Amino acid sequence: MPKLFYFAFPGRAEVARLAFHIGNVDFEDVRIDGPSWPGQKSKFPFGQVPVLQLDDGRMLAQSGAIDRYVAKLTGLYPEDPVQAAFADQAVFLLQDMWEALLTPSWSLPLEEKVKARQEALAGKGGDKLKALDKLVEPVQQSGWLAGGEQLSFGDLEVFVTLTNLTSGMFEGIPKDLLKDYPALKAFRNRVAALPAIKAYYDKDGEGLRAAFKPDA
């Protein structure tokens, strides 16, 4: 059985966790506790997690690679190359948004961090959120981002990234941020309400995971 190593919080492992769950593919969800991390770091390629240990023992790092591999195992990677490219388009726009909104303020002291994030929301980060809102606008009620009737990893990435962003983990990013982006809010809630996803957070919905519920 594959073993997914990450910390307990949703973060960069949550798309893979959800994909395994949706696809009914067994895996071991190894949740590393913070204090034990320094003693474990060196056993992982690149000294970081998430890492997926395959059945043959090989260790696969980088969440983007893990997510696509797990999506292929679980029927969430479009077979049509054009649809796969449109799923990726959403993922890369999410990365642009994340970089514009959070990366420059990462190691600033708290007060400056909050100010920098508010400025980013009013500037380039906000522009990327508007672009994402426009991207999901046609699929906020029906259809999916890859262009067909099938949910793909791209939809999960949008759901997880937006929910991580507004989960309260990032100082200066309001929990109700999506009220200004109605299509994103509707789309996020629609993914959260899918029976398999709702069931996942009904069972494991404490702490930061409370934010992953519909209408949270």
Q: Which spans of this chain sit near ligand GSH (rule: CB under 6 A)?
A: 11-12, 41, 47-50, 62-64
Give the residue closest to ligand GSH by C-beta: 48
Structural element, H or E, at residue 200: helix 195-203
Q: How far is the CB of 28 from ligand GSH (least distance, A)?
A: 18
Strand-by-strand arrangement of the 28-32 sheet? 28-32, 3-7, 51-53, 59-61
Sequence-distant (6+) residues with CB within 8 A of 175 are 166, 167, 168, 211
Nearer to ligand GSH, 46 or 123 (CB): 46
**Helix locations, 31-123, DSSP H:** 37-40, 63-73, 81-101, 110-122
Nearer to ligand GSH, 64 or 104 (CB): 64
Nearer to ligand GSH, 47 or 143 (CB): 47
Nearer to ligand GSH, 63 or 152 (CB): 63
CA distances from 126 to 36, 45, 180, 200 (A): 37, 34, 10, 30
Q: How far is the CB of 130 from ligand GSH (least distance, A)?
A: 25
Q: How far is the CB of 181 from ligand GSH (least distance, A)?
A: 24
Rounded to the nearest 10 degrees, the angle between the axes of helix 81-101 and helix 153-165 is 10
CA dist 62 and 98 (Å) reads 16
Q: How far is the CB of 68 from ligand GSH (least distance, A)?
A: 12
Nearer to ligand GSH, 49 or 145 (CB): 49
CA dist 160 and 11 (Å) reads 8
Q: How far is the CB of 62 from ligand GSH (least distance, A)?
A: 5
